[in-house]
């Protein structure tokens, strides 16, 4: 009857890390994120994406204007 549960210690909460660990982890993560953002800006990635999105919006706008023009022509032809 004295059989122990082998997983009993598995579910115990881990001890808390000291507050300095969290500060260091935040600082390292922030520094890495800032460095990556700086590299992306310097590489011109955002300029490339902005131009790509502008082309996409212009194409969509032209397609919409063409569709509206065709619709107007069809409605005028139907009225006459």
**CB neighbours of 26 closer than 8 A, spacing ≥ 6?**
none
pLDDT of residue 3: 66
pLDDT at 5 over 80: no
Q: Is residue 65 part of a domain?
A: yes
What is the span of the domain harbouring residue 41? Answer: 37-80
In whole angstroms, what is the distance from residue 52 CA to residue 39 CA? 20
Q: CB under 8 Å, gap of 24 or more: what pairs does 12-16 form?
A: none
pTM confidence score: 0.54
pLDDT (tens digit per residue) in 12-42: 888 899 999 999 999 999 999 999 999 999 9
Q: Is residue 4 part of a domain?
A: no
Q: Is residue 43 part of a domain?
A: yes
Q: Is residue 23 part of a domain?
A: no
Q: Is residue 46 part of a domain?
A: yes
Number of domains comprising the chain? 1
Q: Is residue 69 part of a domain?
A: yes
Q: Is residue 80 part of a domain?
A: yes
User: What tokens were used for 70?
Assistant: 């065709």
């Amino acid at each position: 009857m004295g059989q122990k549960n082998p997983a009993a210690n598995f579910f115990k909460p881990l001890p808390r890390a000291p507050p300095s660990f969290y500060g260091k982890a935040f600082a390292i993560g922030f520094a890495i994120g800032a460095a990556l953002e700086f590299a992306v800006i310097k590489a011109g990635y955002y300029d490339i994406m902005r131009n790509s999105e502008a082309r996409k919006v212009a194409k969509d706008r032209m397609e919409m204007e063409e569709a509206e023009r065709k619709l107007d022509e069809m409605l005028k032809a139907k009225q006459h």
